[in-house]
């Protein structure tokens, strides 16, 4: 039995032969997708499809009534009568995905509590601002019977539990003691166990999982979604999370063996990765097995990738256009362009402020097609 108020976090689980096979399946799909030839356009299309799928199913799990097609319409400005709350949830989640993308692309390998709090703020309020943990007790009840399903830890214990959880995640990622899918599975489980907020815990946990996987080499080029696997059988999702001898955190949940959940989570990863492998393979074939441009794209930094959008519209661009796009001062833009010229990204035409313009170097033109 767990001692009331215990703050330590040392998850118990077993790496069984069945789990080992699942991990091997995940790895096989990951390697296969990494070598598939994909154009930039195909990759962007598959990524956007994955984002829409994730938004639809992650909000659907929490009761959102919009269909996947309607989710797409809402994200493009559409509205539906008497669905204001659903629309807001969808827009908020999509904003949170944008924030997660920024975290994935930055160079900081550490995932902070502030990151998690900001994700929650976006999920719940659509505001890029960290939220505070709950200040009281919350209880998870069965919607039909009203029976208590789970009683999370007391509010006073939440901050320390979250500190320990984040420290464990970052330490394990750095040391590589366990396979990445297992680290992500445990992070999801522990976040749901702590239940640090009154609402929005599930969506935030699923986004945290994405960050861990992407930052640890399991992003699968951003074209997968785990949420659909959960949504297809919600009861199995909840059953897998329901572990321990008691519904009370302090009497069973904190020290439970979570092998069952880890197997379920990794099965979902294997399923999602296999589907992506098939879908990406078919899409690549339909595209005529064009040259893989994703490796070329990886040579560019985020600002250079942004600049490509201007060159898709015009052969030449000006300093002012780049400054407006990147939201930096024109003088900083000049220095940046000088650097890009030296790196072979741009070619300069003209020298005065009035005549100076830039053309994309030949090596990168194929990214515009």
Q: What is the 3 state secondary structure string of 316-364?
A: EECHHHHHHHHCCCHHHHHHHHHHHHHHCCEEEECCCCCCCEEEECHHH
Neighbour count for residue 53 (Cβ, 10 Å): 20
Mean pLDDT of the 127-151 span: 89
Using CA atoms of 270, 183, 45, 311 in order, give the dihedral in degrees to the nearest 10.
Answer: -150
Q: Return the pLDDT at 352.
A: 81
What's the half-sphere exposure (Cβ side, CA atoms, 13 Å) at 142?
Answer: 10
pLDDT tens for each residue of 301-315:
889 999 999 998 888
Residue 289 predicted with pLDDT over 50: no
Q: Return the pLDDT at 133.
A: 98
Looking at the chain, the whole-number percentage of residues with pLDDT higher than 70 is 94
Q: Return the pLDDT at 286.
A: 65
Residue 354 predicted with pLDDT over 90: no
d(CA 71, CA 27): 31
pLDDT tens for each residue of 68-107:
999 999 999 999 999 999 999 999 999 999 999 999 888 6
Q: Return the pLDDT at 186.
A: 96
Mean pLDDT of the 231-244 span: 88
Q: Return the pLDDT at 292.
A: 56
Estimate to the nearest angstrom the gap between the alpha carbon of 334 and the chain centroid.
34
Name the pLDDT band for 8 (thresholds 50, 70, 90). low
Give the lowest-confidence range in 135-149, 154-168, 178-192, 316-330.
135-149
Name the pLDDT band for 165 (thresholds 50, 70, 90). very high
Q: Residue 153: enclosing H or E segment and its boundaries?
A: none
CATH label, 17-286, candidates 3.40.50.300, 1.10.101.10, 3.30.450.40, 1.10.3290.10? 1.10.3290.10
Using CA atoms of 84, 86, 88, 92 in order, give the dihedral in degrees to the nearest 10.
Answer: 180
Residue spans of the domains in the chain: they are: 17-286, 300-368
Mean pLDDT of the 146-171 span: 93
Residues sharing a CB contact under 8 Å with residue 369, sequence separation 6 or more, in sequence order: 39
Q: Output the CATH code of domain 300-368.
A: 1.10.10.10
- Asked if 17-286 and 300-368 have one fold, the answer is no
Cα 286–Cα 288–Cα 290 angle in degrees, nearest 5: 125
Q: Return the pLDDT at 215.
A: 92
Mean pLDDT of the 13-25 span: 94
d(CA 46, CA 272): 14
Q: Model's pTM, two decimal places?
A: 0.75
Give the lowest-confidence range in 35-39, 45-49, 240-244.
35-39
């Amino acid at each position: 039995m767990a001692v009331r108020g215990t703050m330590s976090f040392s998850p118990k689980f077993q790496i069984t032969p069945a789990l080992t096979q699942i991990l091997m399946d995940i790895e096989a799909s990951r390697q296969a997708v990494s070598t598939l030839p994909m154009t930039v356009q195909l990759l962007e299309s598959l990524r956007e499809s994955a984002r829409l799928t994730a938004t639809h199913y992650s909000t659907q799990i929490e009761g959102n009534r919009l269909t996947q097609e309607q989710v797409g319409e809402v994200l493009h400005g559409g509205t539906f009568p008497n669905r204001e709350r659903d629309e807001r949830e969808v827009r908020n989640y999509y904003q949170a995905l944008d924030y997660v993308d920024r975290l994935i692309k930055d160079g900081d390998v550490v995932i902070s509590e502030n990151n998690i709090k900001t994700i929650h703020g976006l999920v719940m309020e659509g505001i890029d601002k960290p939220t505070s943990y709950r200040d009281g007790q919350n209880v998870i009840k069965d919607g039909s019977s009203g029976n208590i399903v789970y009683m999370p830890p007391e509010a006073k214990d939440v901050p320390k539990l979250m500190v320990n959880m984040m420290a464990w995640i970052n330490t394990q990622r750095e040391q590589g003691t366990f396979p990445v899918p297992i680290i992500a599975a445990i992070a999801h489980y522990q976040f749901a166990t702590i239940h640090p907020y009154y609402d929005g815990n599930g969506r935030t946990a699923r986004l945290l999982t994405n960050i861990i996987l992407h930052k640890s080499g399991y992003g699968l080029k951003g074209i997968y979604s785990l949420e659909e696997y959960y949504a297809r059988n919600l009861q199995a999702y909840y059953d897998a999370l329901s572990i321990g001898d008691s519904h009370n955190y302090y009497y069973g949940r904190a020290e439970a063996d979570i092998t069952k959940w880890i197997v379920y989570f990794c099965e979902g990863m294997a399923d999602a990765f296999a589907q992506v492998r098939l879908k990406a393979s078919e899409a690549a074939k339909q595209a005529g097995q064009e040259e893989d441009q994703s490796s070329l794209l990886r040579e560019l930094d985020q600002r250079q990738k942004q600049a490509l959008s201007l060159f898709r519209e015009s052969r030449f661009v000006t300093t002012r256009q780049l400054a407006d796009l990147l939201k930096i001062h024109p003088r900083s833009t000049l220095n940046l362009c000088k650097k890009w010229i030296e790196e072979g990204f741009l070619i300069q035409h003209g020298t005065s402020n009035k005549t100076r313009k830039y053309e994309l170097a030949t090596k990168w033109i194929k990214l515009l097609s």
